[in-house]
Structures are given as C-alpha cells and as structure tokens.
Amino acid sequence: MSVEENKAVVRRVNEAVNRHDLDALDEHPGMHDTKKFLTGLFQAVPDMQATIEELIAEGEWVAVRRIARGTQRSEWQGLAPTGRPHAVEVLAMYRVVEGRIVTAYTHGHMLEGAA
C-alpha cells in the first residue's frame, strides 16, 4: 500500500475512535491493547474526542500527534473525577501492513491549562 493509503487507515481508525466505535478496531491486530484501554477510558471520559494535529508517514510507518479532549466523569486509573475538561497530547507510531494496523506504540501526557 502507498504512504497515503496508510495515512488514510490511521485517519479512519481515529474517526472510529471519535465515534466510540471500538468494534472497528477488531480488524487491526495491533490495536488490541488500545481497544482495552479505550473501553475503560470512555467509561470515565464519555465525551472524549481526538483531533489529529500532525500526520506523517514513511513506508509502512505512520506517526501521529493528536490532542484528546474530554471531561472525566468517573474514577479513572485511581484518579477521582474532576468534572473539568482536560486535554492530553498523544504521540503514536503505527505500522500498517495490507491496510491493517499491526503494531501500535502510543504515549500521552496531560497538557497544562489546556482543554
């Protein structure tokens, strides 16, 4: 597949996540752990949405910087709900093979004063 096709796969996955359609991740074996993580996250942050800020690719690899925004409504990983909007910057690398994400590495950190 071309670099542009690989980027389109990652965009479609981001759109599915924003719809909270986690079943769409089942066709991507590299997204299994992400699906488990997001299942819990959506319970705590039901309005979470992610905006792609940067998207670059080379060969099978696609790199993404996105901002995820939402309001924590229930406990999440031991943190009490705040009821305030939060923003998290997420950096991710995906390996796309034959239209499927087979490897995913992600790292996120809270943005200070951003929502």
pLDDT single digits (tens) 24-78: 999 999 999 999 999 999 999 999 999 999 999 999 999 999 999 999 999 888 8
* Nearest residue to 38 (alpha-carbon basis) of 87, 92, 76, 85: 76
Residue found by looking up tokens 């996250």 in the block: 41
Q: What is the pTM of this model?
A: 0.91
Torsion on CA atoms 7, 5, 26, 17, rounded to nearest 10: 40
Contact indicator for 54, 74 with CB cutoff of 8 Å? no
Residue-wise pLDDT tens digits, 104-115:
999 998 886 555
Question: CA distances (Å), 50 to each of 4, 31, 80, 96, in order?
Answer: 20, 16, 22, 20
Structure tokens at 44: 């705590």
Q: How far apart are CA 7 and CA 24, in angstroms?
A: 16
The CATH fold of domain 3-110? Nuclear Transport Factor 2; Chain: A, (3.10.450)
What is the reported pLDDT for 112? Answer: 67
Q: Residue ranges of the domains in the chain?
A: 3-110
